[in-house]
Chain A
Amino acid sequence: MAQIFHSSMNSVARISVFGLPLLFVGSILGGTIIYRSPYITGEREVIDQPVPFSHKHHVGELGIDCRYCHTSVETSAYAGIPPTKTCMNCHQQMWAGSDMLGPVRESYKQDKSIPWEGVHNLPNYVYFNHSIHLAKGVGCYSCHGEIDKMNLTFQDKSLLMEWCLKCHRNPGPNLRPKEEIFSMTWRRDKDHPNPKTGEAWTTDEIIDHNKLKIRDAIQITSCSTCHR
């Protein structure tokens, strides 16, 4: 009887037999990593806009309040993308001839919307409501990141369901006093103390201060809270 296989086949065979289960487990784990990667979630991905609007300039440098443009953020589910009129309030005088603002003027003149690219896109079966988050003391910063430092706006967080749930299960760390909701610089540390205690704010102090109870995790992780 002649050998059918070369001796090297022993290693090949063993690696294939015992490697298969590892490959199987590995590919699942790999998949879960890839599906959380910024490539899939679009995290920190800068998107070109018809007009290169800079939050850094308007918020960080000029200090315009969020609500000047996003008018319905405190009352409605949607923060609201400002109508062209809002842009023109200032830009009729300022930078009135700038090339960059051409599409804005065109829009105003022709009564045609500026086709902005959506940056924060939630699936359509998710019913996110801005107003309740602000009312309960979750600041813009918690979801949108340091928007005052963004030239072109990008998505700062993954917006995955597990990311939503992380806060819905334990909202405490993301709460802030209601005066600081729109602040981009406020952090919960000793540099921004509770004037009453002189220490960093605690969650309980914030809830007391805001005079609004936070519903427990069971309630706000119920499916119909976000999906209808």
Chain B
Amino acid sequence: MTRTTEEPLAPVVDHEQWVGLEELAKSPEFQDMLHREFPEDATAWNDPVSRRTFLTLAGASVALAGIGCSPRPASREKIFPYVRQPEQMTLGIPLFYATGFTQGGITIGLLAKSREGRPIKLEGNPSHPTSLGSIDAIAQASLLDMYDPDRSRRITKKGVDTGWDTAVLELRTALERLRTENPPRAIRILTDTVGSPALGSMIQDEFLKLYPSAKWVQYEPANRDNVREGAKLAYGEPVNTVYDFTKALRVLSLDADFLSNGPGAVRYTKDFNRLRNSHLKEGGKVPSAEEMNRLYVIESMLTSTGGVADHRLAVRSADVEAIARNIAKGVGAAVQEVAISEAAKNWIKELVNDLNAHKGKSIVIAGENQPPAVHALAHAMNGALGNIGTTVLNHAPIEIKPTTQAAEFKELVAEMSAGTVGALLIIGVNPVFTSPADVDFKKALERVSLTVHMGSHSDETAAECDWHINQTHFLETWGDGRAHDGTVTLCQPLIAPLFNGRSPLELLAYLVGDRTELNPREIVKGYWKKNWPASGSKVDFDAAWQHALQEGIIPNSASARVDKQPNAANIPAYTAPVAGLELTLRPDPAIHDGRYLNNGWLQELPKPITKLTWDNALIVSPKTAEKHGFKINIESTGGGEHGRSVADMAEITVGDKKLKAAVWIQPGHADDSITLHLGYGRQKGGKVAKGTGFNAYAVRTSGAAWNALGVKIAGTGETYLLASTQAHFRMEGRRPVRQGTLHEYEENLKENKRTHGKVALFAKVPPVASPEWRSIDENVPGSPNEWKGEKAKEHKHEHTKDDKKEEDHGHDDPRLIPLTMAPATNKEGHRWAMAIDLTACNGCSACVTACMAENNIPVVGKKEVTRGREMHWIRVDRYYEGKADDPDNLTTHFQPVPCQQCEKAPCEVVCPVAATVHSADGLNDMVYNRCVGTRYCSNNCPYKVRRFNFLTFADWKTDTYKLMRNPEVTVRERGVMEKCTYCVQRIRSAGIESERTGREIKDGEIVTACQQACPAGAIIFGDLNDAKAKVNTWKQQPTNYGLLAELNTMPRTSYLAAVRNPNPDMPKPKGA
């Protein structure tokens, strides 16, 4: 039942399959169920979808049976079989459907896993160019949005429920009146960036045609205006630039967090890591500096991209342009040099040389929050470096209508204020919340006679509009979209709309009227029937359509290439930014522009760098904080470093706008710069969103959408409790993360024969019990230290002439003999193991959300996070090396830590009830139903990867969440320990599959959820007993080491040290 053996299937979408749930949702019983606070027996839901009930539900009642509350048979459950069973469905076997998740007009292809008609997990679509099988944290977590109980469930007119038919009729009448008025009153449609061809065509070709007075405006706060404007400056048209990192040996990022934010981040991370591979080449050679890419980053706020950079220069965001001009000049673009700091000059000198030495094999990429000039400069540099057409590919824009959104939006508000707009249809956006502070959208809205809001939530905008129509989630309806390179992506529904929502396509189709196709499926199919990309041969549309649905993409539909060289002439003249504090606004790494604020998975996801959860903050550098007297008090109470930080509050003043917010001190941040993430501080976000963070839109003006200068900040004397899951960032000389440069790697490999090729540099921790490499290596077949049972003890060395030296006798060192009385177990059968490549990991945390979705991990809330009780089974530890106040020379390390599945697991030996023991294939099993909750195992886990249900963390009450849960994983009740299991449910399913058919499990057949999600490909999983397994080739790398392996825990998870490729000619940090 794993994905690799399962062809994604197109669902049978005759109404029959979905009718059950649709009708059910209308039934009073269901409504009762949803509204009842304490459903007595949520399993007895008379519904075909839950017919197999949710296996996870009865944990509590069963456990209570144990103490005699109900000594009678475990449970007498009712069974509700189908009346007519859908043909392709087999109970208990998941189906995968290709679909897509859209944000900012760009769609990433997904495979949605469905169990008994419920989507339970989203995975990347390997055929999709933006995904290639991986997924980012936000797309992963969008599953939870669908099941969000706070979603709007009705269609209302001025707060009063109306039906769909009434709504459509009334709206049509109203629009018709506006149309026929003389002169016709203006009608406006406001959407976010639309990349969906079907929707675009619906708006442009049908709606706008029917209503000539109508206009379509797109606006979203985290828009790509600067990118488009920059492209226009360089090419005269808004081309869509796609980068090919698989060929780029040198990369310069100008404030671009291209690895974790923006279109194609998943694909770019994948591509970037193709060349960021420290694995030995043929003949056991360390890759040379020319075989590995090198990343230079100039940015203000430390990002995931900056975290993995080989060289990073921290400057104010506003100062990037000046540096960019000088670099551009250096690489030969036709721009003028401008004055920059001495340090920056030194820094870019070698950078420029390096770039010049890699013409056609480099990329310069600029961030979305940089002004158009910087984008134009980046294009100019790429042009000068000969990258256009090799690593930098320009395509026709993928937006249906590329516009300058901020300007359009301002214009719209002006029209509205003037009272000329008769009707405004707001579809899927929340401008009341997201409009810049100097654009009073809310007030302007009052002057519009007909306001219609379509959205998934009854949000701030819904409250101000006459009409509210609840919108479907993308998993509930048909749709299409375009990948970052323009490839058309088809989105299938996985379930009938849970709350009877309607899709924008449907709404517009009804408003246009006189259409034969009113059903979203018909609309999308109809559109593509007409617009199927032309190809040489004649196409049977139905077959091609079916195939495209299965693949999730329409083949060969990427947007057309634009072959133009950039022109540096249009780059506006340089004006030096004023000195002093700047405020940089950015979309939040988890909740983006605020639309996911009610998503618990994203709220609780520790942000890649700050590790903050549930809040945003004014992020400043240590020096700036010192200057203004801000500090963070790690409280000695509660979670402390592991959750509880009391930050000073400050008030920032941007022009005449003020905002009070907490200050977070971030090493690596540029001085005199403040970063604030958008999206928090919503009034009507929902239960989860309530009371979290500070509204950055309050200080965002249309003139300074991303970057404001002349900002003032002053402490207010108040404090604010922030929940950061990791405040301690030093390694304390312990080196949990081992790292080095390519050069050091090579040198050490030469010198260290004694350690059988292990790189001592990466292993500077004093031995505690036995040498770490031994305990790791003996598990690896083919390694010189492979366990050979008793023979290993009497190992007699065949002396050759060259190895008479003392240091060649490593294995005679008594310390090198494993100090254990217990011989290794589990030598036969499967031995599951994992390796994590720290060179590749950029801390994006997609693995964390994937794990939450796969393993039914509860969200605990801010209060519990501040008490150190977050439940993530895999956490990404983040360390800094270097001085906190020297941002340019601060090295950041990311280390994902799941359960290490130790062979001699310290947790097991201390459990008094054998609730955690080893399985025959070497997994550290955690048996939730046996656990009595002594928490001793957690104490004894040196990695601290065990998580405890201190309170009832799992949500047993919300019905929609019950639908979402993975039925293959027990939902843990209060008082039970839990932890990473290597996704044992996947291993067991594959095991049953292989046992049933009498074949072996193939390498790569089982992928863990974290591995599957990881865009960087930093995680590999497989069978140690399969000598050809990829995990074994990883583990034989000299950089392989076990975290705390010196404790003799013999972890099955090991790490490959982070190897960087710094430029040896770059200026060294002071005092180094």
Contact = CB atoms under 8 A, between A and B. Distances in A.
Contact present between A and B (CB < 8 A): yes
Interface of A: 35, 39-42, 45, 47, 71-72, 75-78, 80-85, 107-108, 111-118, 121-125, 127, 129, 131-132, 135-136, 155, 211-212, 215-216, 218-219, 222-225, 227-228
Contact of B927 (A76, A215, A223): A223
Contact of B81 (A40, A114, A155, A227): A114
B995 interface: yes
B819 interface: no
B995 A113 contact: no
A155 B92 CA distance: 22
B912 interface: no
A41 B73 contact: yes
Interface SS majority for chain B: loop
Nearest to B987: A224
Interface stretch (B57-65, B129-137, B480-488): B57-65
Nearest to A210: B998
Given A41-B73, A85-B84, A117-B76, A228 B920 contact: no
Interface in B74-109: 74-85, 90-93
A219 B923 CA distance: 11
Interface of B: 19-20, 23, 46-48, 51-52, 55-59, 62, 71-85, 90-93, 829, 917-921, 923, 925, 927-930, 968-970, 981, 984-985, 987-988, 992, 995-996, 998
A83 B83 contact: yes
A108 B84 CA distance: 8
A123 B75 contact: yes
B920 A77 contact: no
Contacts of B52: 78
B995 A118 contact: no
A83 B981 contact: no
Contacts of B81: 80-84, 113-114, 116
B946 to A, nearest CB: 16
Contacts, number: 159
A222 B919 contact: yes
A132 B988 CA distance: 11
Contacts of A39: 72
Contacts of B995: 132, 135-136, 212, 215
B984 A228 contact: yes
A228 B985 contact: yes
Contact of A115 (B80, B83, B988): B80
B71 A35 contact: yes
A227 B928 contact: yes
A118 B75 CA distance: 9
Given A124-B59, A132-B996, 16 more contacts: A39-B72, A83-B81, A111-B83, A115-B79, A115-B80, A117-B78, A123-B74, A124-B55, A124-B56, A125-B928, A129-B992, A132-B992, A222-B921, A224-B987, A228-B969, A228-B970
B988 A122 contact: no
Given A72-B92, A121-B77, A227 B46 contact: no
Nearest to A160: B74
Contact of B83 (A72, A85, A227, A228): A85
A47 B73 CA distance: 12
A93 B624 CA distance: 85
A127 B56 CA distance: 11
A122 B602 CA distance: 35
B143 to A, nearest CB: 20
18 contacts: A47-B76, A71-B90, A76-B92, A78-B52, A78-B92, A111-B83, A113-B48, A113-B81, A115-B78, A118-B78, A123-B62, A124-B970, A125-B970, A131-B992, A212-B995, A223-B919, A225-B919, A228-B970
B92 A113 contact: no
A132 B1 CA distance: 13
Give the one of A41, A71, A77 with max B CB within 10 A. Answer: A77
Name the 7 nearest CB pairs between A and B, nearest first.
A42-B73, A222-B919, A113-B80, A83-B82, A76-B92, A77-B92, A219-B920
B829 A121 contact: no
Contacts of B23: 111
A81 B55 CA distance: 16
Give the one of B56, B71, B93, B920 with max A CB within 10 A. Answer: B920
B824 to A, nearest CB: 15
